[in-house]
């Protein structure tokens, strides 16, 4: 094994405060690397843990409980926190271009900056809808919506566009939150253009029953074409009245990646090897939703970023030491838990495992609270 003395004088730059980078910092808290300078670039001091978002919107978790304190974590890891945003990367000279004007030089780089919502296929979505990701941008808008709903003439009709697991979770969360706080009848609609990937038939049956039990109207196999101030126009021509619309649909790469010379997949996300290095740059790594493992593509979901975190941490350490890197093959199936907002949850994995009940909710709660260190 190479000596950690080889790390001396080297600079590791972590761009973005995503789940994988939180776990990288935790690894350097537990086992510091002598002589290595670490810089974390993040727009915010606090980063939300995505697994707890539905629970927060349902009123189960407070804002403080769902956030990870990056400033505290960086300090514990001996890292410098730069509160800024990366707007570009110069691969040739190994520099990160920041919005505030600073250029950061690096020896080893890791990018974990998430996604931006792709609302291009839905007319009016930019103006009349709340995009679920990035989560940090959603939370303040959600607070304003919640405050307005508590007024006597506030919104009472809510539509969620996106029939995947995230959209289903949101529908249950919105129903739970507003039903508990508003005395007037509340209408919640779930709009999805296709069956949710990764949800097996047993789970789908249980979810359908739970949606009916919770009085959530479902518009399946019918895409949203336009959103205006009064509701959502569907591909079938149907109109779903809504005072507020949340959109949880496709993701797009962050703009900062557009002009880079790094390898990308067909959608513009960074293309990485099983080592999490970018295909055409051994000094640059990427993880989380902004990256695609071309040999093992997986959905854009926080669970995969969390699983990448320990591997990324070990490989960053190996890279600064000049050691051989390990390869990573993500699992194909993962445990999926959907809280239904009534003290119950529906869970499943793979093609056949499906279950539900209050014990499933306890499992969901424990799973959410196993987030990285605060």
Q: Which of 216, 249, 282 is the last residue of a domain?
A: 249
Q: Which of 249, 281, 305 is the last residue of a domain?
A: 249
Looking at the fold, whether 177 and 100 belong to one and the same domain comes out as: no
pLDDT at residue 66, rounded to an integer:
85
What domain range is 148 assigned to? 117-249
pLDDT at residue 165, rounded to an integer:
84
Q: Are 29 and 2 in contact (CB under 8 A)?
A: no
Number of structural domains in the chain: 2
pLDDT at residue 206, rounded to an integer:
93
What CATH number corresponds to the domain at position 285?
3.50.50.60
The DSSP call for residue 165 is H
Looking at the fold, whether 165 and 220 belong to one and the same domain comes out as: yes
Q: What φ, ψ does residue 240 adopt, rounded to 5°?
A: -105, 105
Q: Is residue 310 a part of any domain in this protein?
A: yes
Looking at the fold, whether 279 and 187 belong to one and the same domain comes out as: no
Q: Is residue 339 a part of any domain in this protein?
A: no
Q: Is residue 360 a part of any domain in this protein?
A: no
Q: Is residue 331 a part of any domain in this protein?
A: no
Looking at the fold, whether 79 and 19 belong to one and the same domain comes out as: yes
Residue 114 CB-half CA count within 13 A: 21
Segment 295-303 shows an average pLDDT of 72
Q: What φ, ψ does residue 254 adopt, rounded to 5°?
A: -60, 145
The DSSP call for residue 323 is P
Segment 100-119 shows an average pLDDT of 93
Looking at the fold, whether 144 and 225 belong to one and the same domain comes out as: yes
Euclidean distance between CA atoms 24 and 255, whole angstroms: 24
Q: Are 344 and 358 in contact (CB under 8 A)?
A: yes
Q: Which residues of 245-282 are buried (b: 16+ CB within 10 A; e: fewer)?
A: bbbbbebebbebbeebebbbbeeebbbbbbbbbbbebe
| Lowest mean pLDDT segment, chosen from 76-90, 92-106, 222-236, 344-358 | 344-358
Looking at the fold, whether 28 and 132 belong to one and the same domain comes out as: no
Measured between its terminal Cα atoms, the distance across the chain in Å is 32
CB atoms within 10 A of CB 11: 17
Q: Which of 249, 280, 300 is the last residue of a domain?
A: 249
Residue 158, pLDDT above cutoff 90: yes
Q: Is residue 330 a part of any domain in this protein?
A: no
Q: Which residues of 73-87 are buried (b: 16+ CB within 10 A; e: fewer)?
A: bbebbebebbebbbe
Q: Is residue 365 a part of any domain in this protein?
A: no
**Rounded mean pLDDT of the chain?**
88
SS3 at position 241: strand
In the numeric block, which tokens belong to residue 361? 């909710």
The DSSP call for residue 247 is E
Looking at the fold, whether 160 and 86 belong to one and the same domain comes out as: no
Looking at the fold, whether 136 and 212 belong to one and the same domain comes out as: yes
Alpha-carbon Rg for the chain, nearest whole angstrom, is: 21
Q: Is residue 366 a part of any domain in this protein?
A: no
Looking at the fold, whether 316 and 218 belong to one and the same domain comes out as: no
In the chain, what's the furthest Cα-to-Cα distance? 68
Looking at the fold, whether 237 and 224 belong to one and the same domain comes out as: yes
Q: Are 191 and 159 in contact (CB under 8 A)?
A: yes
Q: Is residue 137 a part of any domain in this protein?
A: yes
């Amino acid at each position: 094994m190479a000596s950690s003395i080889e790390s001396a004088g080297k600079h590791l730059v972590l761009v973005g405060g995503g789940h994988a980078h939180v776990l990288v910092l935790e690894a350097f808290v537990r086992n510091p690397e002598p002589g290595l300078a670490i810089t974390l670039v993040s727009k915010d001091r606090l980063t939300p843990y995505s697994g707890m978002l539905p629970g927060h919107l349902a009123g189960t978790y407070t804002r403080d409980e769902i956030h990870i304190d990056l400033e505290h974590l960086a300090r514990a890891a001996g890292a410098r926190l730069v509160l800024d945003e990366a707007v570009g990367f110069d691969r040739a000279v190994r520099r990160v271009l920041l919005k505030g004007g600073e250029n950061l030089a690096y020896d080893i780089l890791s990018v974990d900056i998430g996604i931006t919502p792709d609302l291009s296929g839905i007319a009016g979505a930019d103006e009349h809808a709340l995009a679920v990701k990035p989560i940090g941008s959603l939370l303040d808008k959600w607070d304003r919506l919640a405050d307005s709903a508590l007024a006597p003439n506030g919104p009472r009709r809510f539509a969620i566009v996106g029939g995947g697991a995230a959209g289903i979770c949101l529908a249950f969360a919105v129903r739970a939150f507003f039903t508990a706080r508003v005395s007037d009848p509340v209408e919640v609609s779930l709009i999805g253009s296709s069956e949710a990937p990764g949800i097996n038939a047993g789970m789908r049956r249980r979810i359908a029953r739970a949606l009916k039990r919770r009085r959530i109207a479902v518009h399946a196999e019918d895409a949203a074409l336009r959103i205006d101030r009064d509701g959502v126009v569907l591909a079938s021509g149907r109109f779903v009245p809504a005072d507020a619309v949340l959109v949880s649909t496709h993701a797009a790469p962050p703009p900062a990646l557009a002009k880079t010379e790094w390898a990308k997949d067909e959608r513009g996300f960074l293309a990485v090897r099983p080592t999490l290095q970018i295909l055409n740059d051994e000094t640059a790594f990427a993880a989380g939703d902004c990256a695609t493992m071309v040999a093992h593509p997986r959905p854009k979901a926080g669970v995969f970023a969390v699983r990448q975190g320990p591997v990324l941490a070990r490989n960053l350490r190996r890279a600064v030491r000049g050691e051989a890197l390990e390869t990573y093959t993500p699992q194909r199936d993962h445990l999926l838990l959907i809280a239904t907002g009534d003290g119950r949850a529906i869970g499943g994995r793979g093609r056949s495992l499906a279950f539900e009940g209050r014990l499933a909710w306890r499992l969901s709660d424990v799973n959410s609270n196993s987030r990285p260190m605060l």
